[in-house]
Structures are given as C-alpha cells and as structure tokens.
Amino acid sequence: MVRDVVIVGGGTAGWMTATYLRAAFGDRLGVTLVESRAVPPIGVGEATFSTIRHFFDYLGLAEHEWMPECNATYKLAIRFENWREPGRYFYHPFERLRLADGFTMADWWLKIGSDRFDRECLVVPAICEAKRAPKNLSGELFEVSLHDGGDRHRRTTMSEQDTQFPYAYQFDASLLAKFLTGYGVQRGVKHIRDDVVDVKQDERGWISHLVTAEHGELAGDLYIDCTGFRGMLINQVLGEPFESYQQYLPNDRAVALRVAADPERDGIRPYTTATAMESGWIWTIPLFHRNGTGYVYAEDFCSAEEAERTIRRFVGPAADDVEANHIRMRVGRNRNSWVHNCVAIGLSSGFVEPLESTGIFFIHHGIEQLVKHFPDESWDPTLIRAYNRTINRCLDGVRDFLVVHYRCAARADTPYWKATKERPVPDGVAERLEVWSTRLPDETSVYPYYHGFEPYSYNVMLLGLGGHLPRAPKAALSFLDEAAARRQLAAVARQSRELVASLPSQYDYLASM
C-alpha cells in the first residue's frame, strides 16, 4: 500500500497539495512536507481561475475564514487593455453567453451589435466598471442560480462545475501558503524545515529516500516535487526532459513589484488587468491594501533594465522605493509529470505565462487528478500514463489558448507585436483559426480536451482582440427574426444597471467581512 507521501517544497504548490491530500484521505495517508528556509517561493501567482472555489470547498473553508488572512479580493474578469490598439480595452469575464433562437449572443452581435461586444452581451463588465462585489452584503451571490447554495458540507471538484461560477479570487500567494501551513499542521501534516542535500534511488531508478541536512534520512512511498522551476526531483534526479513552449509563446522573463494601495480611497477593482506594452504586457492585481504588478516580456526584445524602468514608469511614484523581483520563466512542461514514484505539481510540472491566471489552476488540477489516479502497491503503469496524458493535454490546451491571444490581437505596431504574428503555431491551431475565419468558435472547433476554457472564452477573446474576426455573420441569422436577440440585449442592459445600483462596492463588502 501507498501509506506515506513526502512533498519536497512548500509555497502555494506544496501546501495546497499537502492540505488537499489530507482532506481527501485523512489519517489513512501520512503526509510530510519538507521545505528549505533558504529557498523563498516565487510568490507572485496572485490571480486565480473560477474553479479555485472547489479547492476551498474541498477543505471545508468558508471565505470569511481565509480571505482576510490572505488580503484576498474577488475577481470577476480579466480586463485586456491595448491589445487591439492603444487606449482600447475589453473584459474576459467568468460569464457564459446567452442564447437566442439557438445561437449565442456573440453570433447575434456580429449581425446587430454596435461597438462594445462585452458590455452589450454580458453583465459582468458593468459590475467591473463600477468596482462592485459579486455579492450582496447579506452574502447572497448576485446570480443565485449559478451558486451551489453555500452548502459547505458538500465537497466538490472541478468535475462538478456544470455552470460557470462568476468569480475567482486574487490573493497574496505567500500569505495563502502561510495560512495553509497552519491549517495543514493542525490536521496532521508533518512539517520539516530543512534542506534536502541528496536524493537516493534504488536499483530501478525509483526514489528510495531523501537525505536532509539536519533530520537525516526521510523516506516515503510517493514523492511529490513542488520545488518550482528547479524541478529538483523530476528533472535533476530522475532526468525527465522538459519540453519548451518557447517557439510558440514569446515571453520568457518577468519583473514584479508589490505596490501599496489605499482601498478605502480608491476602491478595489474586481478584476485583473493585462495591459499590452511595447515588448510584452503588464499585470495589475488588486489585493486588499496593495497591488501586485509585473511586466511579462520577451528577452529578445527587451532587457531586464528596460523592463524594470517600464514597470516603474507604468506604476508611477508609488513604485519608487519598491524592490523589484526579476524572474526567469521556464515556459513549457515535462514530457511526463509522473515518473516512477514521483509526481511533479506546480512550476516543476509545467508553466505558461500568467496571461489567463492559470498557474494556481494547474496546481489544483494536478492535485485533483492525483487523487483520482492515486496508486496502490501495483503502481499500475496504465494509471500513470492516464495521469500524464490528462496533465499534458490541459497544459497544451492552455498553451494553444494563449497562442490565440497573440496571433489574434490586432496590435502590430512594434517589432515585438509584429513578431507575434510570425511565430509558428502548435498542431491544430492553424486549422482552428481557418474555421474561425468563417464562424465563431463553438464546442466542435475549440481545443477538444479539458483545459479550463469553454467556447465562450474563445468568442470573447476573438471579438475583443479584433485581429481575427469571421468574415461575415452566420448566414442562418438572415432568415431568423431578430426580436428575441434584441430582447436579450435589452435584458443585459437592464440587468447591468440594476446590479450596479444594488450591489455594494468590493471595498465595502470586504471591509464588512
């Protein structure tokens, strides 16, 4: 039997893994986490995906228990600025498109819409513009039909997400790791602060035990690599090759700042912003009392010094005394994230630039799939292959979705943005782009395996980016009465006004929490 798991590395990946396994298996599985005092976590993964609610539900944590401890805020969308042209922006919200006569409002908008697809077809952009919270002060979600009723006794996974939940979270990743450390230790996770100085293997090449500087040998049945871009176990010890996405995605560096903010004075934006710049893009993630911001860029087009000057100019005087954190990103994935008795989760498994806030989503997905594929003493190779296939498909799918962002952005005014249109695309993407030249994406023409994004996301991005639109609306719409579609547009406008008038500001809601 697999009775003991040893996790190497802390941070968000390590502690999410430890606490989830403890919640899943209880005392039937021993969980030990060893992390070095000398290796700080990157700690800039602050925006999340709407499926993250299932993680907290699975642990039985209500929002008021963890959000204040982590400076957390609500995230309803990503706002893309300057991707179409300087000065223009649009929202990619957690909101599915409505239908009229069997066609989405995206299809109808191409025929009868005017200037702003997102605001005309979706209600979340209006909530974002007004800096509203997604809940009333009573705690009721603004769209109750999308909520699970608040049943905290019902543990859920991503598989149960049959509706599009309308928000995610933005939080301080280092504070979340600290919170989960206390939560996990209280529930039986063994926490060791020490350096792993050697990793021993048996005659098969499997990991037999770790050697630590102060605690001697440490052994388990299953080892989980949460050592970040180093891939200490999966790459350095087991030699699993890393497959780069760099030929498809341009960016390989980032510089991040933590900037103080006054939420009572300025309010709190319920969205992450991705602002296109000359050689990349800048994220802005509003937390309670500070903003996380960073410039993701391509080293081929911008030096680290120029990138830091750019982000400081962008932020303004608030960045003057803030220390910059320069990060070299390893963009791609392992050929396999599970090798022998070792599973890599988080950055040691794979990474794409944080354009759609998928870093913590990949951690969560990897943990859930590990539970679903958990081994017994036979270490069934079919099970391991199925796990690797699932993880690889998810990472590759998000890669393809991000490639679409660059290829379909209308912006092409600098050498960097011109080059994004000339890079090769992964297998299948060119064919999909050709289909989307004649009709908007649907379930038959997007990436076919689970990767967290539905057809509506592809529709929103294509219409917002503006560089790859269908040549004409669907012909069928010319034979249909427009009345139902116009009623839907009117309903969106009315409901947007009502929600802005009735919902509290995000600051007021979080302050009351």
Side-chain half-sphere CA neighbours of 70 within 13 A: 27
Residue 183: partners with Cβ closer than 8 Å, 6 or more residues away: 19, 59, 61
Catalytic pick from 75, 131, 190, 421?
A: 75
**Which ranges constitute the DSSP H helices of 326-440?**
359-372, 381-408, 415-420, 429-436
The gap from C-alpha 311 to its chain's centroid, in whole angstroms, comes to 22
- Please calculate the CA angle 376-380-384 and round it to the nearest 5 degrees: 105
Alpha-carbon distances of 234 from 164, 268, 366, 402, rounded to whole Å: 34, 40, 15, 26
Q: Are 33 and 180 in contact (CB under 8 A)?
A: no
User: What is the C-alpha separation between 267 and 251, in angstroms, rounded?
Assistant: 31
- Interhelix angle 105-112/455-465, rounded to 10 degrees, is 20
Q: Are 129 and 77 in contact (CB under 8 A)?
A: no
The gap from C-alpha 277 to its chain's centroid, in whole angstroms, comes to 21
Residue 271: partners with Cβ closer than 8 Å, 6 or more residues away: 75, 76, 77, 78, 79, 91, 128
Q: Are 380 and 247 in contact (CB under 8 A)?
A: no
| AA identity, residue 99 | L
Q: Are 120 and 109 in contact (CB under 8 A)?
A: yes
Q: Are 161 and 96 in contact (CB under 8 A)?
A: no
User: What is the C-alpha separation between 77 and 127, in angstroms, rounded?
Assistant: 10
Read off the tokens for 160.
């149960």
User: What is the C-alpha separation between 409 and 422, in angstroms, rounded?
Assistant: 12
Quick one: residue 471, left, alpha or beta (phi over 0 = left, psi -120 to 50 = alpha)?
alpha
Per DSSP, the chain holds a count of helices (H) and strands (E) of 16, 23
Residue 511: partners with Cβ closer than 8 Å, 6 or more residues away: 264
Read off the tokens for 422.
């000339």
User: Is residue 75 flagged as an active site residue?
Assistant: yes
Q: Identify each DSSP E strand in 241-310 by its residue range.
A: 242-244, 253-260, 271-277, 280-286, 290-297
Residue 146: partners with Cβ closer than 8 Å, 6 or more residues away: 163, 164, 165, 166
User: What is the C-alpha separation between 233 and 237, in angstroms, rounded?
Assistant: 5
Residues designated catalytic: 75
